């Protein structure tokens, strides 16, 4: 149940149409997931968001595309964003994440959630060795 109304015919707006066309071309699929359909309530917000997602996630870079989606899933789980957990888990699978890798992703994300709680509960002082400014340049 959304907080804004989905447009009945979003692609009647030329800017929305252009973004949707680019999503289809970039992803090589006709499927436009709901995130974009609802962001279309404000074409400028849609454009900006897609431009950034395309640049960061769909452009060849230092990191493997599957790894990038796994990092996205890790943040989305921790923020409790169910929609994003779904869309980026699907994206990671589409980029080759096997069930065993999915399980390992969950194991790491869960362990981090656990030791984050321990470190915050103990209020462990940061070791001087971790100070990047103290490293030799």
Per CB under 8 A, does 89 bind a copy of itself?
yes
SS3 24: helix
- What's the min distance (Å) between Cβ of 37 and a copy of itself? 8
Whichever of 14 and 130 has its CB closer to a copy of itself, that residue is: 130
Under the criterion CB under 8 A, does residue 102 sit at the interface with a copy of itself? yes
Closest among 30, 51, 42 to 5, alpha carbons compared: 42
Stretch that binds a copy of itself, among 10-18, 19-27, 51-59 (CB under 8 A): 51-59
Distance of alpha carbon 55 from alpha carbon 27, whole angstroms:
13
Q: Does 54 bind a copy of itself (CB under 8 A)?
A: no
CA-CA distance, 7 to 82, in Å (whole number)?
Answer: 22
Residue 52 binding a copy of itself, by CB under 8 A: yes
Under the binding rule (CB under 8 A), the answer on residue 84 touching a copy of itself is: yes
Q: Could you give the dihedral angle defined by the CA atoms of residues 68, 72, 74 and 77, in that order, rounded to the nearest 10 degrees?
A: -160
Does residue 20 bind a copy of itself (CB under 8 A)? no
């Amino acid at each position: 149940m959304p907080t804004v109304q989905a447009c009945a015919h979003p692609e009647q707006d030329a800017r929305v149409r252009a973004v949707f066309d680019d999503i289809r071309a970039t992803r090589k699929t006709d499927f436009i997931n709901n995130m974009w359909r609802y962001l279309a309530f404000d074409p400028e917000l849609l454009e900006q968001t897609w431009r950034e997602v395309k640049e960061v996630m769909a452009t060849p870079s230092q990191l493997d595309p599957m790894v990038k989606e796994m990092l996205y899933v890790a943040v989305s789980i921790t923020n409790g964003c169910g929609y994003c957990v779904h869309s980026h888990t699907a994206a990671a699978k589409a980029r080759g994440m096997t069930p065993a890798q999915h399980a390992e992703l969950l194991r790491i994300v869960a362990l981090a959630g656990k030791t984050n709680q321990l470190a915050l509960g103990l209020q462990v002082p940061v070791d001087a060795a971790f100070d990047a400014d103290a490293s030799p340049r």
